[in-house]
Amino acid sequence: MPLVVLEVASASSSVNVSISQHDVAEDQMKEEERQRIAGIFPEFYVSYVWNAAPLSTKQKFELAWKSTTDPTTFALTGAIAGYEQARNNLRAYGQGTQGFAKRYGANYADSFTGIVIGSAFLPSLLHQDPRYFVKGTESFQSRALHAMAFPFITRGDNERTQPNFSVVLGTYASAELSNLYYPSSSQTHVTANNMLLGLGLDSVNGLLLEFVYPHLTPSAPRSIAANTQLVLREGTPVSLIVSEDLSLADVQQGKPVAFALLRDVKVGGVIVARAGSSASGEVDAIALMNNGSKTDRLPMQFLALQVGEVRVPLKASKKRTGEDEASYRPLNSAVAEARANKQIQIHAGILLTAYVASDISLRPVS
């Protein structure tokens, strides 16, 4: 059996934590930040993972900042302001550069306060999730009701369904604040009109998010039958994290190294292995102790990821099986020194990257 040696992130050698909910949420949020309708318009507040991990307060504000400072947001605000000026909407703002600037500022303020209050501040205060979760399956009626109810029903950080106070109160607060910068001639109606308009548009947008935008978003997972066999190709990277400490004595006794999958593994945007799936491998004790001067190498064998009932073999290189590849990769200096002193300690929390060893068929994760 050829030895497998994985590159270890040196900064993680002393971390004593296993995969956490925050890590999973962070990885899922980064995927969401890459979602763009037609490759242009941001779709950051949409999750295609139905059971996605809840966001922390910091992550909610990071997502709000990403949305409000995206170049497309500024461009769309300018287009709306230009359209309003061409139609001479809000006449009190006037025309010319000054009129355009006022319209631009008012539109951007609407967007900014709506996102920061309704998608960051209130969701953090009320422990609610600001994202729309695409249902994607079940009947058309069920999906339509789910989409249209989004402004009024949401998911809490405890993963339970609850009234969407964040959107309703956030829409009201944003509409009320708009009285500070909209012309005074129609302020008595601005709050009510803006709030009703905002909630109505959210319901319509929910239908688009559920039925239309997934087909226009290149990075969105595609609907696929549960019994479809997808081929996970050789060389696909797999991110792992060590689940428990392992000492030299454990290695000599043949105790396997336990890993957890750090990130979802996908085939064509479809998840075939969920973050948190278990993996394991054995350290070759004889090779470990007889490497001579190679005290910066850690040989492993029988490394594999368990996906349901399927065992996915892993290797250390992207190269195809049979090609010449380096059998060893450097470890961090702390581990190398410990091994030189015959005191190996593999710490929980060490991050590694392995690669699928051969093509294998898997079913989509439900």
pLDDT digits (tens, 9 = 90+) for 298-335: 566 788 999 888 999 988 777 665 543 434 344 444 44
Domain count of the fold of the chain: 2
Say if residue 273 is in the same domain as residue 198. no
Say if residue 304 is in the same domain as residue 212. no
pTM over 0.75: no
Domain boundary among 199, 216, 233: 216
pLDDT digits (tens, 9 = 90+) for 59-99: 999 999 999 999 999 999 999 999 999 999 889 999 999 99
Question: Beta-carbon neighbour count of residue 180 at 10 Å?
Answer: 9
Give the residue numbers spanning the domain of 88: 35-216
Say if residue 189 is in the same domain as residue 264. no
User: What's the pLDDT at 231?
Assistant: 87
SS3 category, 134: coil
Residue 2 lies in a domain: no
Domain boundary among 201, 216, 231: 216
Say if residue 253 is in the same domain as residue 349. yes
Residue 288 lies in a domain: yes
Residue 25 lies in a domain: no
Residue 139 lies in a domain: yes
Say if residue 13 is in the same domain as residue 81. no
d(CA 209, CA 202): 10
Do residues 196 and 112 lie in contact, with contact meaning Cβ atoms separated by under 8 Å? no
Residue 24 lies in a domain: no
d(CA 84, CA 60): 32
Say if residue 97 is in the same domain as residue 156. yes
Say if residue 208 is in the same domain as residue 240. no
Residue 1 lies in a domain: no
Say if residue 44 is in the same domain as residue 169. yes
Phi/psi region, residue 365 (left: phi>0; alpha: psi -120 to 50; beta: rest), is beta
d(CA 141, CA 207): 11
Most confident of 16-20, 237-241, 285-289, 295-299: 237-241
Say if residue 327 is in the same domain as residue 189. no
pLDDT digits (tens, 9 = 90+) for 13-65: 332 334 567 877 888 898 899 999 999 999 999 998 877 889 999 999 999 99
**How far, CA to CA in Å, does 278 sit from each of 18, 19, 240, 260, 303?**
12, 11, 9, 5, 11
Domain containing residue 331: CATH number: 2.40.128.260
Domain boundary among 186, 216, 246: 216
